[in-house]
Amino acid sequence: MPTGVSSNNSPGVAQPSFLAASERYRPLRSPGGKRRCVFRQYEEQIPYQQAWHWQKALVAESQGNDPPDWDTVLLLQHPAVYTLGAGSTTDHLHFDPESPPHPLHRTERGGEVTYHGPGQLVLYPIMNLKKHTPDMHWYLRSLEEVVIRALEGVSGLKGERIKGCTGVWVDNQKVAAIGIRAQRWVTYHGLALNVTTDLQPFQHIVPCGISSRGVTSIAQLLRDEGIPDQELMREYQFGLLDAFADVFDVVLTECEHQRS
């Protein structure tokens, strides 16, 4: 592995303090038989490795001796970072992987290289698909549907799928990337939606390994409307969570003890 690329075994990253679910979460009683999903929403930027460790710890908890009877979703932003999928090639990097312009991590998700950064909303569902539909293709299409519904519901934008690709496009430009992993049907990693993202860092890579199509953001698509960035971010935080609840037919419950 190139010295500039870190793996998921990096030391010194704290494990989340919210794993004692019986102590940390409100009692979960779902009306109408819908499955509960506890969500954690962060306004501050969360370092990529920290969120990565949170996800893996939640997956481990879901597979433990006393697993929770609910799902979890994290909604956050990262500082600038590039990530590689488990089998992705460094040929899609326009820089030396030993000296990247931003931190570079090889992960266990599917897909090729992508960029995360401020202004991009990242949704990480930790879901037991045995309680939904145990089918990874269904899950990928469902995540795409979350983005498509959020785009339509918040801004009236028409998000589209492209046959043979994963993600969501508007006007032939990619606005949302998706890369996932599952262990015994418990998912982690997820989707990234460019809301007010600076698109310049994408020029240093071939995003998701697709050179024939560009990358865009919602702010870029709506640039003539003069909507403040902060307003767009707030509206899409709500929009993504609402669409997620609708697509997966869950009841969202905010975590009682947000981690500082």
CA 206 to chain centre: 19
If you average pLDDT over every residue of the chain, what do you get? 88
Q: Which residues are catalytic?
A: 208
| Rounded percentage of the chain residues whose pLDDT exceeds 70 | 86
Q: Please tell me the predicted confidence (pLDDT) of residue 7.
A: 55
Q: How far apart are CA 253 and CA 11, in angstroms?
A: 32
Q: Are 120 and 77 in contact (CB under 8 A)?
A: yes
pLDDT at 111 over 70: yes
Neighbours of 225 (CB within 10 A): 9
| pLDDT band with cut points at 50, 70 and 90 for residue 211 | confident
Q: Please tell me the predicted confidence (pLDDT) of residue 212.
A: 78
pLDDT at 5 over 80: no
| pLDDT band with cut points at 50, 70 and 90 for residue 255 | confident
pLDDT at 72 over 60: yes
E runs forming strands in the chain: 5-6, 35-45, 71-77, 81-84, 104-106, 114-116, 120-126, 168-170, 173-183, 186-194, 214-215, 250-254
Q: How far apart are CA 211 and CA 230, in angstroms?
A: 31
Q: At what angle do helices 229-248 and 136-155 cross, to 10 degrees?
A: 140
